[in-house]
Amino acid sequence: MNRSAADYALRRGALALVTIFLVVSFNFVLFRLLPGSFVTNLSHIPNATPAFRRAIAAEFGLERSKWEQYIIYLQQLLHGNLGVSYANDRPVLSNLTTDIANTVPMVSLGTLAAIVLGTLTGVASAWRRRTVVDHGLTGTALAFYSFPTQWLGLMLILLLGSVLPTSGMHTPFLIGAPWWKSALDELHHMILPSLTVMLTLLGQYTLVVRSATLEAMSEDYVLTARAKGLRGSRVLWRHVVRNALLPVTTLVALSIGFIVGGAILVETVFSWPGIGLAVYQAVSERDYPMLQGAFLLLTISVVVCNYLADLLYFRLDPRVAR
């Protein structure tokens, strides 16, 4: 890594850290602004005894000043303590870890499929612009883009429900099966929700990639490439696509960042026990610590992915180096 690259990574990294710090602090303030004190919130826990409340209050150091509390909050965060869920009395962090472990494979599969397919359809419809191919591809993409997610999910259930599992991520009777069998089972369950995720994202990718490709195609260097006597496919892949995909990296990073956030609607429709479903339940049960933890995790993951996108952009576009 040369100096300017290190310089760039450092500058961007510092910015990402500052953003994360601000988000964490904002989270702290937001939490104090909620109606009722921490302890009254905690007292919503059924059967909480005064002794338990005092113990919790002491654990979180609520009798100290706000600044001290802030410092303690940061310290606890550093140790991974995100609080305790009201709903099941378990540490928020361990709840979240389980949910994320369920969500990430399903949503990643859908998102990656959408990225790959969307790029291909976007490039194809730009290259064949104003032909049947273009109209067909963009039309389809737009249609899927405009369908409500639940509706799309329900249609898929109606259509494919007889051949594919439609709810949960395991077959209940498969206890004690060898690991590969349960993995296959999970994959099988994943198909429909992932497909729904893919279809909802596809339209956006197709359109963004299409317009980026069209823009790159009108550049002078593409004319140069054609004048050089290159084959159409070479002009497309070596000269157009590489440039067209530059602006798309940011979009990709953003949606990868959101993978951690799960897909609330999809997970609800398919009862997928992931973080989206957990957030949905936390909202309906006013489980603030869970919400707070999920929010924190989501923002950090978005910030980190953006940082990675910046670094990738730096590698891809020589002009970013100053």
Partner 1 sequence: MSQPLLRVRGLNVWYELRGRTEVHAVRDVDLDLDEGERVGLVGESGSGKTSVIMALMGLLPSTGSLSGEVLLSGERTLERGERSARASRWRHTAMVFQGAMNALNPVKTVGWQIIEPMLVHGVADKGQATRRTHELLERVGLPGATARRYPHELSGGMRQRACVAMALACRPKVLLADEPTTALDVVIQAQIIELLDDVASELGMGVIVVTHDLPVVARLCPRAAVMYAGEVVESGPTDALFHSPRHPYTKRLFEAVPDLSLGEEVSSIPGSPPQLDRPIVGCSFAPRCDLGFERCTVERPRLRLVTPDQLAACHLNEMPSEQVAPASSHELGPQQSEPDAAHATCGPATRRDPLLRLSEIQVKYALRRGPWDWLGRRPREYVRAVDGVSLEVRRGEMLALIGESGCGKTSTAQAILRLVEPASGTVEFDGAEVTRLTRRALRPLRRRVQMIYQDPYDSLDPRLNVRGIVEDGLVANRLGDRSERNVRVRRALERVELSPPERYLERLPHELSGGQRQRVAIASALVLEPELLVADEPVSMLDVSVRAGILSLLSRLCHEDGTAVVMITHDLSTAAHFADRVAVMYLGRVVEIGTVREVIRAPRHPYTKVLLSAVPDRDPCVRARPILLGEAPSAAMIPSGCRFHPRCPMAEPTCSELDPQLEPAKGHRVACTLAPRLQTAPAAVTGAEVAP
Positions that interact with partner 1 (CB under 8 A): 3, 7, 10-11, 14, 219-221, 223-231, 234, 238-239, 242-243, 246, 316-319, 322
- Phi first, then psi: give them for residue 70, nearest 5 degrees: -60, -45
Contact partners, residue 207, CB within 8 Å, separation at least 6? 122, 138, 141, 142, 145
User: What's the closest the beta carbon of residue 243 comes to partner 1, in angstroms?
Assistant: 6
Cα–Cα distance between 84 and 94 in angstroms, integer? Answer: 9
Supply the minimum distance, in Å, between the C-beta of residue 224 and partner 1.
5
**Helices 3-33, 288-316: crossing angle, 10 deg rounding:** 160
Mutual angle of helices 288-316 and 246-257, in 10-degree steps: 160
Q: How many other CB atoms sit within 10 Å of the CB of residue 48?
A: 14
CB 41 within 8 A of CB 34: yes
- Kindly state the smallest distance separating residue 297's Cβ from partner 1, in Å: 28
- Residue closer to partner 1 (CB basis): 304 or 320: 320
Q: Are residues 8 and 314 in contact, defined by beta-carbon separation less than 8 angstroms?
A: yes
Identify which of residues 6 and 143 has a Cβ nearer to partner 1 in the complex: 6
Query: Does residue 237 come out as left (phi exceeding 0), alpha (psi in the -120 to 50 range) or beta?
Result: alpha
Give the residue with the Cβ less far from partner 1, 31 or 313: 313
Which ranges in 285-320 belong to alpha helices (H)? 288-316
CB of 139 to partner 1, least distance (A): 21
Q: Which is nearer to partner 1, 79 or 322 (CB)?
A: 322
